[in-house]
A and B are shown apart, each in its own frame.
Chain A
Amino acid sequence: MGFALIWHIWWMVAAGAIGAFATFVVFAWRDHDEYVIPAAEVARIDQVNRAERRALMSGAV
């Protein structure tokens, strides 16, 4: 929309504005907008990551 405003492309301005507002409404109407990752799961992923990196480092040396 900014590009269209600079170059006076009025139909694009309108399209951009409507699109922006439509996106706003779609996001506002979501019922599930977040999910929880339990701490245990985060710890598990981190342990796997560290183990693989340790293996890589010791393997390379």
Chain B
Amino acid sequence: MATVVTAHADPHHLGGLGAAAEHAGPASKRIVTGYGFWIFLLSDIVMFSCFFASYAVLSGQTAGGPKASELFDLRSVAAETGCLLLSSFTCGLATIAADVREKTLYQLAMALTCALGLAFLSLEAREFASLVARGAGPTRSAFLTAFFSLVGCHGLHVSAGALWLLTMMAQVTAKGFRADIQRRIMCFALFWHALDIIWVALFSVVYLLGAGQ
């Protein structure tokens, strides 16, 4: 067991990871950046949970208007889910390519991720437009307001993510795989995967449970 280096390293003599005594000083930038962004993502998920809570409370308040089971087209939802899931996969491939510094593979994987993300957004935009055209817009009932807010918030996140994605593609083209750009790619990947996780909860609770009402 490594001896304690300074008096302050282990004031309660807990022992713990022996390597902790040898690894003095702050953690590496990659770890600090990643952990910080992870905490931000969790706060973002808490914000989404507020939208989820509103939706859950208001899902029955249709004000005499159309219900979930009358409005949702599950084939479109399935296509959207497929797009987002595959885009998460290609994003993972992009991070691997970035780690081994394969520029072409990285750009290809990111381009695929972008295409799939934009496909998801266009399907969702079409769905929103058709709902509004059928008189089931966000002002029709509390249920629809909550629906548009929740799904719309997720869509806005995906849109911002797509912009960020294009920026990361441009960054690698301009500056290569610098250490800080690698960190940003890691943060982007965390963001994109988290969006897919939120979509899993979304399509299960909103669309699948709603369609069965």
Q: CB atoms of A and B under 8 A apart anywhere in the complex?
A: yes
Give the most central of A24, A28, A31: most B CB within 10 Å: A28
Do residues B163 and A33 form an inter-chain contact, with CB atoms below 8 A? Answer: no
Docked Cα-Cα span, A29 to B163, in Å, equals 15
Do residues B171 and A21 form an inter-chain contact, with CB atoms below 8 A? Answer: no
Interface size on A, residues (CB 8 A): 7
Docked Cα-Cα span, A21 to B184, in Å, equals 16
User: Cβ of B180 < 8 Å from any Cβ of A?
Assistant: yes
Q: What residues on B are CB-neighbors of A55 within 8 Å?
A: none
Grouping DSSP codes into helix (H, G, I), strand (E, B) and loop, the B interface class, with mixed when no group exceeds half, is helix
User: Cβ of B174 < 8 Å from any Cβ of A?
Assistant: yes
Interchain CB contact (< 8 A) of B184 among A25, A28, A31: A28
Residue of chain A at shortest CB distance from B164: A24
Do residues B180 and A24 form an inter-chain contact, with CB atoms below 8 A? Answer: no
Interface residue ranges of A1-41 to B (CB < 8 Å) = 21, 24-25, 28-29, 31, 33
Docked Cα-Cα span, A31 to B176, in Å, equals 12
Interchain CB contact (< 8 A) of B174 among A21, A24, A29, A33: A29
Do residues B163 and A21 form an inter-chain contact, with CB atoms below 8 A? Answer: yes
Docked Cα-Cα span, A2 to B37, in Å, equals 23
Q: What residues on B are CB-neighbors of A21 within 8 Å?
A: 163
Binary contact track B136-179/A, C-beta < 8 Å → 1, others 0: 00000000000000000000000000010001000100110000
Q: What residues on B are CB-neighbors of A29 within 8 Å?
A: 171, 174-175
Residue of chain B at shortest CB distance from A30: B180
Do residues B171 and A28 form an inter-chain contact, with CB atoms below 8 A? Answer: yes
B residues at A contact (CB < 8 Å): 163, 167, 171, 174-175, 180, 184
